[in-house]
Amino acid sequence: MKRYILPSLKLTVVFIIVTAVIYPVLIAAVGKLTPGQGRGETITVNGKVIGYANVGQKFAEDKYFWGRPSAVDYNAAGSAGSNKGPSNPDYLKIVQDRIDSFLVHNPGVKKEQIPAELVTASGSGLDPDLSPAAAKVQVKRIAATRHIDEAKILALVEQQTVKPLLGFMGPEKVNVLKLNVALDEMK
């Protein structure tokens, strides 16, 4: 029995050092190399933090791009999906209400033109990004509300579009908070 205890204790100590010391230090070091140095990328306007680039924000005014709906009302402390399946009648009613609301605020847009991400919440409820198509479908509303040429807003969407990593890893995306900040800075 002694023959097994000493190697087991040594192996336990090695794994404790690897998993409780080396791995966390390595992950913290990698985090320091990211935007925000591992604390999240904050967005500031006039020296005031207005949000985080990696957490969705609620925009409900017609003069802003709307982000993806949230099942947790954008509460980062309670990140979660709705846990309702695609055939759940309550879920289908929520989605239909979102579609109806979007159509009211975006006259001229047909139901088939609405990207699913604008009426369905993400798994975390905090998705900060949209596809370029989801941003572009809102341009007409924003241009009319702000009295800005649609072409200028479309150019802003293109400017704010982040291409896939290395050209092929992941989809193109637009960060809604950064896009709305840039929209407010337009003359």
User: Average pLDDT by consecutive 10-residue portion of the chain (187 residues)?
Assistant: 87 95 94 81 87 88 94 80 85 95 94 95 87 97 96 97 90 96 89
Which two tokens mark 131?
């596809």
Which pLDDT score, from 0 to 100, does residue 38 have?
Answer: 78
Which pLDDT score, from 0 to 100, does residue 12 have?
Answer: 96
Biggest CA–CA distance in the chain, Å, is 82
Is 128 found in the same domain as 52?
yes
CB under 8 Å, gap of 24 or more: what pairs does 70-76 form?
Answer: 70/121, 70/122, 70/125, 70/126, 71/121, 71/125, 72/125, 72/126, 73/125, 74/125, 74/126, 75/125, 76/52, 76/126
Amino acid code (one letter) for 138: Q
Is 90 found in the same domain as 70?
yes
**Which residues span the domain enclosing 50?**
41-185
Q: Around Cβ 177, how many Cβ atoms within 10 Å?
A: 23
The answer to whether 150 touches 164, Cβ cutoff 8 Å, is: no
Is 156 found in the same domain as 92?
yes
Which pLDDT score, from 0 to 100, does residue 123 have?
Answer: 81
Is 110 found in the same domain as 73?
yes
Is 90 found in the same domain as 120?
yes
Is 72 found in the same domain as 14?
no
Domains in the chain, number: 2
Which pLDDT score, from 0 to 100, does residue 173 have?
Answer: 96
Is 156 found in the same domain as 101?
yes
Rounded Cα distance, 136 and 160, in Å:
12
Which pLDDT score, from 0 to 100, does residue 73 have?
Answer: 84
Is 23 found in the same domain as 52?
no
Rounded Cα distance, 103 and 156, in Å:
23
Is 108 found in the same domain as 172?
yes
Is 91 found in the same domain as 16?
no
pTM of the model: 0.80
Which two tokens mark 170?
């992941």
Is 8 found in the same domain as 90?
no
42: alpha, beta or left? (left if phi > 0; alpha if psi -120 to 50): beta
Is 88 found in the same domain as 4?
no
